[in-house]
A and B are shown apart, each in its own frame.
Chain A
Amino acid sequence: MKNILNITIAASLLLVFTGCSQTEFEPESGLVKGEKIESTISIADLKTNYMTSSEQFTADRITSDNQIVINGIVTTTDIEGNIYKYVAIQEETAGGQAIRVSVDASGISSILPIGQRVSIVVNDLCIGKYGESPQIGVYFVRSKDAQISPGAIPMPIARECVTPYGEPDPVAVVADTMTIAEILAAPRAEMDYKLVCIKNAWFTGRGYEFGAPATIANKDKIFAPGTNGIGFPQSREIQDGTGSAAISTSEYAKFAQHPLPASTYKGNVTAIVSWYRKGTSAGSYQLTLRTLRDLGSGFDGYLRSVNYID
């Protein structure tokens, strides 16, 4: 019996020390560990020097014996699904430009949030145009029609060439206040993927087709009705008294089904500016809300009416 007792005690102790044991992990600090790499070229010069093909859909390889680096601050978030698989970065230098960097990752803002400063080594990536809108990506040929464009950079490559440094600083992301008229009049290169804030803007309740306002049915007076999976963004007109522009929303945005703000709401609209032109159409700017919170001062009542919680 004594043997049995000893064995039982010993075995019980073993159980405690084996099956139940586990490694304790310290939480990661969350610090961004990268170091800034100094720019060797501005975004403007990158476009000028390397985006050489003239078509509307292009992808030109960035090749050089030297390291080519751009820097900027992330101005976008995909948290509400309206921005998908890209980040826009804005140079913080005077007169600096912005550009879209396509990354093949939904949820990219989880690691590149608004206000994250990044250095990007662009060697061997492509810079090109999608509907004349400049982007950085990899070379991509669409299988169904052989259309060339900058494709989304696979995450393992993105991790190699995009270096975040410093803690995110969303306060440093400041939209440039402009009227619609000023946006339309500015050189395109300066406006591509720029974050702007339009004051005293309102939704007219109309859509936008082929670069011009268009009447839509009452049931479609939401940000983005579904497209049965085709996936093109939907445009809704805003005005600010100086001009008319299109707010472009994906049907996959979390606020896609929300009713458009009544035209009685007038206030600040912050948006990313981009351009799209295909074929012989005139082309037009699209304004993309990052989140519904981009409807700022003046839209508070509307946000309450749709129970918006960010």
Chain B
Amino acid sequence: MRKVLFLLLVSVAGVATLFAQTFVKGVVKISGTENPLSGVKITLLQQNISTQTNANGEFMLSYIEPGDDELSISRQGYFTQIKLVNIVAGKENDLGVFELKVDLQDEVKQENIIQLSENELDADDSGAAQISSGNLSAKGDVYNSQTSYSFSPMRFRTRGYDNKYESTYINGVHFIDPERGGFNYSSLGGLNNAFRNKDVNYGYAPNAFNFGNLGYNTNISAKASTFATGSHANIAFSNRAYKIRGQFTHGTGILNNGWAFAASGIVRWATDDGILKSNVDGNFYNSGGLFLSAEKKLNDNQSLSLVVFGAPTRRTSQAAVTKETHDLVGGSVYYNPYWGYQNGKIRNSRIVETFDPTAILSHDWKISETQRLRTGLGFHYSWYSNSGFGYDGLHPSPDYYRNMPSFVSSDDNAQQRLTDIWKNDEYTRQTKWDEMYRANMFNNIERPDGQARYILERRHNDLMETILNSIYTNQLNENLKLTAGIEARVSKGMHYATIDDLLGANQYIDKDTYAERDLVGGTLQDADPRIIENNMNDSVKTKHDGDIIRYNYDLNVTTANAFAQAEWKISRFDIYAGLKATYTQFYRYGHMENGRAWYLREVKNQDVNSYGKSDTWFFTDPSVKAGFSFNIDNRSYITANALAETRAPLVQDVYVSERIKDVLAPNLSTEKILSYDLSYAFNYKTIRGRLSGFRTHVSDAVEKYGYYDDAYRTFINHLLNGVNKMYQGVELGVSVPLNTMFTVSAAGTYADYSYTDNASGTKSYENGAEEDVEETVLIKGLKVNAGPQMAANVTLDFFSNLWFADITLNYYDNNYLDFAPNRFTEANQAEMKNYPELYDKLGKQEKLKGGFMLDASVGKLIYLKNRRSLNFNLSVSNLLNNTELITGGYQQARIPRNSDISINAAGADWFLNKYYYAWGVNLFFHVGYKF
């Protein structure tokens, strides 16, 4: 079918080339220099036709309409220019040289986003938001550029969409986490200079590389020919997650033999002590990245490019804490219970290790003046692991609820004593490595063959994937453009735990200690003792450093899609329509025979397996989109877009307890999406901006939450299906140049992201052999955890004589903490309502307090002889030092209960929400040198 379409398009294109053509061409240079600038995106805004400059800074656009139009010239790291041009019909219009001014602030703002977001990436228990790659490059559109940098510390998400509604490509290859959705920006290892050149588009309106997604669509061009010729070295200092960063990039430009090479290396560093100490107590950050790119221009129409990169990284995490803990540690936003002293050295228990080596081979074929075929093949292997304690002794968390003053409410004296201890004793506040080692050593003596009291385990989520993308474009004539693309992906996610450190214990015995407790005193008293085994196929139960323990399974996902879209110009209307079909299949492969799953199958006669290959599930999903843009007066436009589609659920959400069994969520169905928006965009000399309204309905979605419940003494997976949500709101961005030096820009959104119906819940007890429990979860009216739903800011920009400065005041409100489904089950809601005070604290979703944040930066660019330049930049965030602003967190799932499972009203303060707080005043100083 694709072949037929291809041949058809090629034939039509051949006819089209017979007509006379109109061209525009020009050259882009760096302002104040003679240096050509490659990789600049050139767009005729009214005609929505774009291209990029080559290594010599040259560009050419063909098959365009004559008349007045606006030419947008943009590149990451430079101020976007929009010029009015008059295009004469039937000739080559040479527009001359355009000079782009360097945007020094851009890079430091990117750093701000990366550091702030990565800090919370690993909070996998809390469903913390990931960075939006679109945030890093949303230039051009006033609203998007105004909101992307400044709002990111508050986890603002444009239109409330989470990562799975965004698409990121590198050299035309779609990189997405096939299990969780979305792009893992940290896989780029901070190689900002290598990945600066981006083409960012919002929504599903046509773009040059994909069908479109609800949110940002980004294509990073990392081909060697797009790198500026020469070298660029920079060093930066900050008081954030890492203290120092060094980066070096070199590009050869296109050599006489048709080759181009580029390389980039980066080091990011912070220690847990000393002069390079991370801002968060007990944290460190060690990362080195390497990027290599080679490109060969095969002939005038074809080029082949190979890019490889990777950045092994070891870094630590910070925990979310309750307000009680926050207050007890003096309101420090840098408190972190994950670390403690071991023999006088700081040791953090949550160490993330990542390495994402990636290779991308891409081929670009300009078939004719009107046709282009771009194909990319990507291979990506991701090692991701995070460490944490396994224990059979005292709870290892210093801020465990029973250690807090709120737990001893009967004894004022003890409460005050505990308060004083918390305030004054660092040992109490931190991880107690000495106790754990001592416990293991005592245990070695008392039970030489017994279970370790404590271990540090490492939870691995590795991924191997191969991706193929190909996209064909054909400007059939001046009024019709066709785009078609295919994508195929095969991936295997490997999930297992290993022993990172036995902490002095003789061995770890691989059995489920939680299930063991049930076996002796709980609900499994009559069960076969083998249910506590994590792997019945493994006769060797004693494990040591590096051995796999607890669980070991793969999730295999294969997807393929094809799309076609057409763009027409009819008078003052630009119209588009597109179709896409997506096929998704997945299965689980278990490497262990879990005792609980075995028990459910053999004793309870349930259709449950944990070992071997599960059934293969597949989904076929259509997408259809259409929209138009109406040109009012060559300076203002009305645009409308609409999308309807279904989507396969993400594989991470479909299994009720994938670590131990292959049981699928009941009544699983595809997610349905209906989205539409309407915008008015204007671009006058005195003001430019956009006003939009949008609404997206998501129905039959699946969401999964996980938590440990002490009351039931098991890890519980709580899966919601039949989730219906609506995202709606208005957004406005305006920019007003006051004079040649000052520009004022402002943006704001007022939105509502809500659950519109109750959902079906399935609770699955991972550590017991209990049957899964299905119960309605009352989430209708709750808000989606998508950052502030009301936000506004205003920025004053200054530029003169190669000095740059800006100051931005941000306001946030209507920010809602993520809810815990367990608190909203029908039974729990009804039960908690019997205790009004407890219900107010535990039975509702929290709306976080709004507030202001002030950011500012200043920079200077100095041009030197021989095309060299030097720049300085200082960026300061949160100048008001507003550390009471909560940027994220989660509602704890647990409900205080007595031993007979009735609610314990005295425990209303034990399981309050946990938060991440905004960092205080923090800065980033950057010095760059180009030569």
Contact = CB atoms under 8 A, between A and B. Distances in A.
Q: Real complex partners, A and B?
A: yes
A144 to B, nearest CB: 7
Contact of A154 (B408, B436, B447, B905): B408
Contacts of A205: none
Contacts of A228: 900
B248 A7 contact: yes
B286 A156 contact: no
Contacts of B355: 19
B904 A143 contact: yes
Contacts of B345: 23, 25
Contacts of B439: 107, 110-111
A309 interface: yes
Interface string A148-177: 000101111101100000001010000000
A256 interface: yes
Contact of A30 (B286, B407, B504): B504
Given A27-B437, A105-B394, A111-B439, A19 B402 contact: no
B311 A19 contact: yes
A28 B410 contact: no
A80 B251 CA distance: 66
A231 interface: yes
Interface string B397-418: 0000011000110110110011
Taking chain A's interface residues, is the majority helix, strand, or loop, or is none over half, making it mixed? Answer: loop
Of listed A16, A32, A79, A114, residue having the most chain B CB within 10 A = A79
A250 interface: yes
Interface stretch (B129-137, B427-435, B689-697): B427-435
Interface string A110-139: 110110000000001010000000000011
B402 A18 contact: no
Contacts of A253: 520-521
B548 interface: no
B906 A143 contact: yes
Of listed A15, A168, A251, A253, residue having the most chain B CB within 10 A = A15
A20 B312 contact: yes
B826 interface: no
B799 to A, nearest CB: 33
Interface stretch (B287-295, B601-609, B846-854): B287-295
Contacts of A12: 290
B422 A28 contact: no
B410 A140 contact: yes
A282 interface: no
A14 interface: yes
Contacts, number: 211
A62 B813 CA distance: 50
Given A10-B265, A151-B408, A154-B414, A104 B402 contact: yes
Contacts of B686: none
Given A27-B437, A154-B402, A21 B250 contact: no
B246 to A, nearest CB: 8
B626 interface: no
A309 B343 CA distance: 34
A28 B312 contact: no
A310 interface: yes
Of listed B417, B520, B901, residue having the most chain A CB within 10 A = B520
Interface string A90-106: 00000000000000111
A208 interface: no
A252 B522 CA distance: 7
Contacts of B250: 3-4, 7
A297 interface: no
Given A111-B393, A254-B520, A26 B343 contact: yes
A170 B901 contact: no
A156 B287 contact: no
Contact of B446 (A26, A31, A79): A79
A75 B312 CA distance: 50
Contacts of A230: 899-900
Interface of A: 1, 3-4, 7-8, 10-12, 14-23, 25-32, 61, 77, 79, 81, 104-108, 110-111, 113-114, 124, 126, 138-141, 143-144, 151, 153-157, 159-160, 168, 170, 225-226, 228-231, 250-257, 309-310
